[in-house]
Amino acid sequence: MQIRDLPHPDPGDPDVRSGMRFLVWLFRRQLGGQAKALGWGTLHMATVALIPVAMGLTVQAVVDGSGRGLAAAGALLLAMTVLMAAADTMLHRTAVTNWITAAARVQQLLARRTALLGSVLTRRVAAGEVVKVSTGDVEKIGWFVESFSRFAAAVVVATAVCTGLVVYQPRLGLLVLAGVAAVVLTVFPLLPAAERRADAVRAKGGRATELASDTVAGLRVLRGIGGEELFLARYRRASQEMRTASVHSARMWALIDAVQVLVPGLLLTAVVWQGARMALDGRITPGELVTVYGAATFLLFPLRLFQEAASAFVFSRPSARRAVRVLGLRRPAAGDGAPDPAGTAVPPDGELHDPASGLTAAHAALTCVVCGNPDAAERLAARLGGHPADPEGLPSVRLGGIPLDELPLAAARTAVLVQDKDPVLLSGTLAELLDVPCSGAVPPDRALAAAQCDDVLAALAPGGPDRDGDPMRARITERGRSLSGGQRQRLALARSLLTDPQVLVLDEPTSAVDSHTEARIAEGLRALRSGRTTVVFTSSPLLLDRADQVVFVPDGRVAAAGRHRDLLRTDPAYRAVVTREPDPPGGPGAARPGPAAEYAEETA
C-alpha cells in the first residue's frame, strides 16, 4: 500500500474487543509494509553496527603500518556509508508510509462508524472525545506502527552485536550484555507509571477540549447572558489541571531519559576501563579495543530506539482503547442493517408507520406531528428515520410494510431522510454545501426558492471569491456562524429538499423564521414535495393549517388525528398545545376555548 493509493478501498472490519487486539489487527492489515521496514531497518543498523569493525581494522592497519590494509579499510568504510545512506532513506520512506497508511485506515474506520451511528454517536461519546480520537489519538497510533519496525530491527541487530561480542571477546562481551540488560531492566518498571500519568493527561485534555468546543459553539448565547467569565473560569481550571498532569507526566519521562543516559554511561566507562587493562596486559590489540568500544557505543543507538518504542506503545495503548470505544459502538435496537455489499437494494415506498406510537404518515401526503414536548418529538423523529436514540427494544418503523431494520443501512437512509432541529452547515462554498446525493428531480434553484432563501442569496452574493456576485461561489464559515439562525435553518431546509428522498422528516424546520416567511415556506414545501411523503414535527398553526393530516402524539402514543381546524374545535389538549394556553385546573378535558382558539374557530 502506497500513500498515493489512499484512501483504502476497504479499511476492513476491526477487532474492537480491546485496544491491544485492535493494534494487533492493525499490524496484520499491513504486514507487507512492516516486513519492508524491518528489512531496510535491519540493513541500515547492521551497516552502522559494522562501522566499529571497519574503524578497528583502520586503527590496526595504522599500528601495523600497512598501507594496503588502510586502503581496504577506507574502501570498506566508503561502501558502508553508501549502503547505510540508501538503507536509511528507504527505511524512512517505508516507516512513514506505514504511519500514514495506518492513520488513514483508522480515520476511515472512524468516519465509517460516525456515518453509521449518526446522531447516536454524540449521545454516547462526548464531542470533545470524538475530536481527540480522530486527531491526536490517530496520530499516536500511527506513531507506534511506524516505530515498531525500527524497534524490531534494533532488537535483531542488537542481539546479533551482543552475540558477536561474546564470541569475539567473551569478557568484554559479557560486560556489554550485562549493561544492556541493566538498561532494559531499569527502564521497563517505570513504564506503567508513565502510562498512568499519560492517561491522566489525555483525560484532562479531552475535558478541556470539550469545554472549549462547547464555549465556541455557544459564544453568542454566552455573550447575550454575560456568561463569558463563568465559562472562561471553567476552562481555566480545566487547563490548569491538564498543565499539572502534563508536568507530572513530563517528570516521569525525564526520569526515564536520565536512566537512559546514566546506565549506558556507566557501561561505557566500565568497558573502557576493563578494555584498557586488557590492552595493557597484551590480551587484546588496540584495534580490537576500538572495535569493542565502538560496538558498545553503537548499542546506545538501539537502546534509544527501545525507549522511543516504549514511549510510542505507552501513548498508543490508551489511544487505541479510546478508538475502540468509538468503533465498538452499535446502533441500538436496529443494528447496522442487513448487509448489501453491492448496494443494489431498492428502497421501498408507501406509508410510514411506527408501531410503537401508532403514528402513520400517509403516502405522498404532508403530515404534521404535534408532540408538545421537544425532546419527545426529537426521539420520535429519530425513530422514523430508523435511528433510535435509546435501546428500548421497540418494534421497527415500517415503510411500505417493510421494517427499516431489515433494510441495508444505505437503502434505509436513502428512503427516509431526517433533518433534526439543529442541522449543521459545513464550511465551504454554497455550491459545495448543496453538492449532496440526490435524485436530480429537484434543481438547487427550486429548493432554495421553496426554502425562501432569496435574502440569504442576496447577502452571500457580494462574498464571492472574484466579487462576481455569484452567491453559489460565496463561502460559508464553519457551522454557518456568519449567518443568522433563520438563514442557517433555511439553507439546511433547502439542502434537505434538494435530496428529494421518498420520505422527508423535518423537526421544527421553521422555528427561527418570522411568521410571513414561515407561511411562504409552508406553501413552497407543500408544492415542492407534491407526490412525496413529508412528515413535519411542529406546533406552528401556519404549517399545521396546510397539512393534509395532523397527528397529535402527547405522551408517546397517538391521541388524535385529523385536520388542524377540526382538532382545534374537538380536542382541548391539542388546542392547549397549539395555542400555548395552559390547561385549566380541571385538566385537559375541562379546557375551554381561549381567545386564540375562538378566533381560529371563527375564521374556520
Per residue in 367-388, pLDDT (tens digit) is 999 998 888 898 899 888 876 5
Per residue in 163-203, pLDDT (tens digit) is 887 887 787 778 777 877 777 777 778 877 887 887 788 77
- Angle at CA 463, nearest 5°, toward 457 and 468? 90
Residue 396 has pLDDT above 80, yes or no: yes
Task: Write the single-letter amino acid at 411.
Answer: A
Dihedral angle at the C-alpha atoms of 286, 287, 291, 296, nearest 10 degrees? 10
Dihedral angle at the C-alpha atoms of 243, 245, 251, 252, nearest 10 degrees? -150
Q: Average pLDDT of 297-314? A: 78
Q: Average pLDDT of 280-285? A: 78
Return the higher-pLDDT residue of 533 and 476: 533
Q: Look at residue 557 in the predicted model and tell me its pLDDT.
A: 92
Q: Look at residue 560 in the predicted model and tell me its pLDDT.
A: 94
Residue 601 has pLDDT above 80, yes or no: no
Sign for the CA dihedral angle at 287, 289, 295, 300 comes to negative
Q: With beta carbons less than 8 A apart as the criterion, state whether 249 and 256 touch.
A: no
Q: Look at residue 336 in the predicted model and tell me its pLDDT.
A: 47
Q: What is the rounded average pLDDT for all residues in the chain? A: 81
Instruction: Say what percent of the chain tops pLDDT 90.
Output: 21
At 560, phi and psi to the nearest 5?
-160, 155
* DSSP structure string for 522-573: HHHHHHHTTTSEEEEE---HHHHTT-SEEEE-SSSS--EEE-HHHHHHH-HH
Q: 343 pLDDT band (50/70/90 cuts)?
A: very low
Q: Average pLDDT of 129-141? A: 79
Return the higher-pLDDT residue of 225 and 343: 225
Return the higher-pLDDT residue of 296 and 579: 579
Q: With beta carbons less than 8 A apart as the criterion, state whether 588 and 601 touch.
A: no
Q: Look at residue 224 in the predicted model and tell me its pLDDT.
A: 62
User: What's the pTM value of the predicted model, to 2 decimals?
Assistant: 0.64
Question: Of 547, 492, 508, which is closest to residue 378 (Cα–Cα)?
Answer: 508
Chain centroid, CA 527 distance in Å: 39
Per residue in 76-106, pLDDT (tens digit) is 888 888 998 999 899 889 988 988 988 889 9
Return the higher-pLDDT residue of 342 and 288: 288
Per residue in 425-483, pLDDT (tens digit) is 878 888 888 888 888 889 999 999 999 998 888 877 765 444 456 788 888 877 677 78
**The three grid cell numbers given for residue 601, joined into one nine-digit string:** 374557530
Q: Look at residue 328 in the predicted model and tell me its pLDDT.
A: 85
- Exposure string of 197-214, with b = 16+ CB inside 10 Å and e = fewer, is bbbbbbbbbbbbbbbbeb
Q: With beta carbons less than 8 A apart as the criterion, state whether 535 and 503 touch.
A: yes
Return the higher-pLDDT residue of 210 and 431: 431
Instruction: Say what percent of the chain tops pLDDT 70.
Output: 86
Residue 549 has pLDDT above 90, yes or no: yes
Residue 506 has pLDDT above 90, yes or no: yes
Q: 314 pLDDT band (50/70/90 cuts)?
A: confident
**The three grid cell numbers given for residue 228, joined into one nine-digit string:** 463569558
**The three grid cell numbers given for residue 186, joined into one nine-digit string:** 531499569
In this structure, the strands spanning 402-403 and 416-419 are unpaired
Among the listed ranges 19-33, 388-402, 410-424, 456-470, which one has the minimum average pLDDT value?
Answer: 456-470
Q: Average pLDDT of 124-153? A: 79
At 509, phi and psi to the nearest 5?
-75, -10
Residue 60 has pLDDT above 50, yes or no: yes
Q: Average pLDDT of 124-149? A: 78
Q: Look at residue 589 in the predicted model and tell me its pLDDT.
A: 41
